[in-house]
Structure formats: structure tokens, C-alpha cells
Structure 1
């Protein structure tokens, strides 16, 4: 119970992690272990936990390789910490998750044919977005650092990580519900003539048009969030970040999302 309390305290705190005590490597290990476990679940239940649009572009062998590397890195970091008695309570959780992932099949879980029109939660998108964004943006921020003394696990990182997780999970439900509602309630508004005209545009013209429309909608929506008092109360959450990095943009009020 003491170890679980420590894990809860880490997740709910808001301070930065200092190097030299095993907290950084332990946090990396537990984060990768959780992603590995979720990845194994996606392999087991792709019809419910993967995004249909992403399935079409997957290289399954590459995904298996990424999962294997993540399991080895997480297991290695946690095992080293356990041996040298560095944050053993944290690394033990990570190592147990890796062992559980391996027992469930790890990167060798077979993917058989499955139904393609089932309701789904984009768990694969969450895993790949977190892993990919971390690797890309942390590298860029360290290469061109504005605040050279700011650690990767800076103050408030837990708060923004909570927003990142919740927002990604909510987006899946919101998109599913919105698509169902739009087709049922506003299907009458579809105009084949306009849709055909847009579809027949040259690629460059369609690209410019969608950028223009998206930018106009984003601009006026964002401006309304700043100028309408009721909307600002929601949007103010996004501007409450004091320690800026790539994950700070994930801090959004759930109603704004």
C-alpha cells in the first residue's frame, strides 16, 4: 500500500523531477511500460481500440518492432533501478507491467481478420501521438533550448500530462458521438452539387481552400474565446501554464475541447 501511495503522490504532484535519484529513469520506465501494456491490448482488440483511418496506413511489422524496443528499454531501465535500489517502488511497477505485457503475448500477438465497422476508441492514436511527440519535440527543445536549465519533467508536467491523456480519450468519444449526430440530424444539409464541385477541384486548389476555411474558423473561434466572458472562463485554463514546453498546449478545459 505504501508503494501505491507513492505512485499516487507522484501522479498528483506538480513539481519537477531532479536527476540523480532514479526518478527520471523510473518515470520513463513506468510511462513506457503503460504504453507497452496498452499497445498489447490494441493488438488483442484492434476492432475496438484502433482507429480505422490509421489501420490503412499501418506497417504492422514496424509497430511490432517499436513495441519490442519500448519493452526492452522500459524493462532494462526498471531492472537497473531495482538492482541499484533507485526508486525501487516505481521501477517495480514498471517491470511488473512489462512482464504482464510479455505474458499477454508482447509484440508477437497475432492479428486476425476482424470487423471493420465497430465502435472504437482511438487508443492507438494516443499511444503513437504521445510516443512520437515526446521523441520529436523533446529533441527539438533540447537542441534549441530557450530555458537551458528547465528539465524535461519540469514543474506542472503532471498537470499537463493529465490533460493530454484525458483530452485524447475524450476526443475519441466526442468524434464518435458527433459523427453519429451529424449524419442523423444534419444529413439533409449535404449538397451533392457542392460536394462534387469541391471533390473535382485540383489538389492545390483543394489544399488552399481547406487551409483557408480551417484557418478562418480557428481564428474566429479563438478570438471569441478571448473576447466573450463566458468562453474566456473556459479558455483561461489553456493560458494558466507557467512552465512552457511542448506538452503545455494540451492544457484545455474539457468543455472547450
Structure 2
């Protein structure tokens, strides 16, 4: 063999890891930019599971290393560390097993190498055995734990519900523009934590004159169930007023139109919101609850209710609600709010109690069972998280 050929072979051998790494990055980027159905015969389902779990496991291990900055104070006191460790170990085994099996079988090898690399990185950083000692409890935090739990729980729960009771059969999980809404989902989780901090500061520092201790004690003394129903009513009336203002005030509509620009309704669609709208709405809704003095248990229960309904009411779900549809906001009711049909414009504002819209005359009255199309009239909203955040400040006409 000539010296030239030996050098060429040596160069190929030396650059092989770099080419492999580039192929892994390119194929992973290509998958994340795609939409549509996953083909089980091509191992896309198992690959997606391995990639998702591998990424979440890596985030979880990092959260174990820095709990004072990456976990939510209200949640960290309720955790069982042993249960979390077992769950993390199980997820690592599933992600590692699926990705390694696909690599051995030569199925989507580059993507599964990326998934297995994340599993190895998580294990190298300590895996499920990261020690957690004492740490300060009042440091700034970003709630990475809540993001992991909510993403995992929402995906499993609502994807199953959508497959069992679909409104639009055949709609894929990875529908068009899912990447944009996933970015909204991630960023807005951290914005909610900021909203809670803002409300807490305003009530305890700027608006203490609004607080009446005797009245708060009376409200807190109401039994749990009626207090919760009252809490939801107060929150929904504040939500209704704020929501209606977004539609009727042109300047506010520029922010709210980001939320309405989604053209495919599913569990992820509700995540598309402008950050400033999210912060403003949460302040307007949560502030009355703090001022009126609803108990901590009731407020926590309300947060669970609003968290579930905010996702469920956007989901690709249809169920026979019967007379309940005139009382509670359901996916059928809220889908009409997102419709661009003429008889659906500026209707169905309520988030929890549908009877509020019927009482104020803003409920949809249509002979059609379901909307024909979704999105903003004129379809002027750009795609992409950053461009949608900048849209309210642009000169585009709405």
C-alpha cells in the first residue's frame, strides 16, 4: 500500500468520530423540525421515547445537583427522594435499553446514539445516586422540577385521552408547528413562577391596604368544597374580564392574538401565549384570591384545577357532556373560542364556568356542532417562538 493511501485511510479514521457526531446532530435536528405521524415499523416511536426520556433524565440529574436553584420550594417539601430516585432509575433503564437495542439492530442509529449519549451523561453525573444534602430554602429558583413533571405527566395523560376520545381522528401527536408550541410550553412554565413572585410582592408590599384580616378569616373558614367553588368563580370572573379586554382593546389584542394563532387544537395548543400576556393575566387572576384570603389548601387546589383545564380544554377531545356543557367549560366550548368562523368571533371567554358567558350574552350560538377552522382571521401571525414574542411590537396590521 502506498504512503498516500495510508495517509488517506488515517485521515478517514481520525475524522470518523467527527463525522459521526455531525450526523447525529443533523439527524436529531431534522427529527425535531419534522411534523406528522411516527412510523412504528421504522422504530420512530421507540426512538422518540428514548430521546425524550434521555433528555428529561439528564435535566433531572442536574436538578438533583442544584436543588436550591432548580426545584420549586412548595414542591420540594412534598417529595419523597427515594421515590424520585427509583423513578429516575427506571427512566434511565427504559431510555438506555430502547436506544441501545435500536443501535444494535441498526434502527435509526444516529438518533439513538444521541439518546444513549444523554443517558450516559446522566449516569456519569451521578444518575439516581446524586447525594442531596442540606441547602438554603429561600434562593431564587426556576422550577425545572415542575417543568419535568408537568411535561412528562401531561404528555402521558393527554396523549392517551386524545387517542381514546378524539374530536379529529387521525390527528398526529407531532402536528404542524408543535415545535413552536413546545418552546412556549417550556418558557411559559418559568414565567408562571415569576407571576407568582410578582403577585406575592404586590400583595405584601404595594397593596397591603386592600387586605382585610377579618374578612380573610371569614373566607378561610368556609368549608373546603364550597370555598373552592367560590375561589374558582372569583378567578373566572377576573379571567373573563381580562380575557374580554384582550379581545376588545386593539393594543391588548396584539398580545392575545399570539394565543389565537394556533391552527391545530390539542393539549399543547394552550401553551402558545405571549409572555407578557401570561404574566399580566396571572397577576389579575391570582391577586383577588390572595386579597380575599382563600386558604392555602384551596388556592393550591385551584392551581391544580386551572392547570388541568387550561390543557384539557384545548385538547383534541370530544365527549358527550349533556347539560354539563352549560355549566362547565369543556373542550367543545373552548374550541369555539379559538375558531375563526364568523359566529365564533369574540365569544366563549370563560375558563371554568360556561354559565358566565351565557349570563353575559357572549356564548356562541351556532347551528354547527364544531368549528370549521381555527386561528386568527387573516392568518397574519409568523411562526416561531421569538417572532411571535416580537409580533405585538411590530407594524403588522391585525
Answering whether residue 94 of structure 2 is matched by residue 91 of structure 1, we say: no
Q: Which residue of structure 2 lines up, in the alignment, with residue 23 of structure 1? A: 44
Q: Which residue of structure 1 lines up, in the alignment, with residue 176 of structure 2? A: 155
Equivalenced residues, count: 256
Which has the higher mean CA deviation after the structures are superposed, 101-110 or 143-152? 143-152
Rounded Cα–Cα distance in structure 1 between residues aligned with 2:114 and 2:193: 28
The two structures have a TM-score, normalised by structure 1, of 0.90
Contact 2:69 2:140 in 1 (8 A): yes
Rounded Cα–Cα distance in structure 2 between residues aligned with 1:130 and 1:80: 25
- Which residue, out of 71, 74, 77, partners 2:98? 77
Q: Which residue of structure 1 lines up, in the alignment, with residue 125 of structure 2? A: 104
Rounded Cα–Cα distance in structure 2 between residues aligned with 1:34 and 1:214: 36
Q: Which residue of structure 1 lines up, in the alignment, with residue 227 of structure 2? A: 206
Q: CA deviation at 1:30?
A: 1.5
Deviation digits for residues 194-240 of structure 1, max 9, x if unmatched? 32222233323422321111110111112222222222222122222
SS in 2 for 1:58: coil
Rounded Cα–Cα distance in structure 1 between residues aligned with 2:153 and 2:38: 24
Which runs of 5 or more structure 2 residues have no equivalent in the other structure?
1-21, 279-398
Deviation digits for residues 99-128 of structure 1, max 9, x if unmatched? 111111211222222221222111110000
Q: CA deviation at 1:28?
A: 2.2
SS in 2 for 1:246: coil
Contact 1:14 1:159 in 2 (8 A): no
CA-based RMSD of the aligned residues comes to 2.1
Which has the higher mean CA deviation after the structures are superposed, 152-161 or 245-254? 152-161
Q: CA deviation at 1:193?
A: 2.5
Rounded Cα–Cα distance in structure 2 between residues aligned with 1:37 and 1:8: 18
Rounded Cα–Cα distance in structure 1 between residues aligned with 2:37 and 2:266: 15
SS in 1 for 2:111: helix
Q: CA deviation at 1:57?
A: 2.0
Q: Which residue of structure 2 lines up, in the alignment, with residue 169 of structure 1? A: 190
Q: CA deviation at 1:14?
A: 5.2
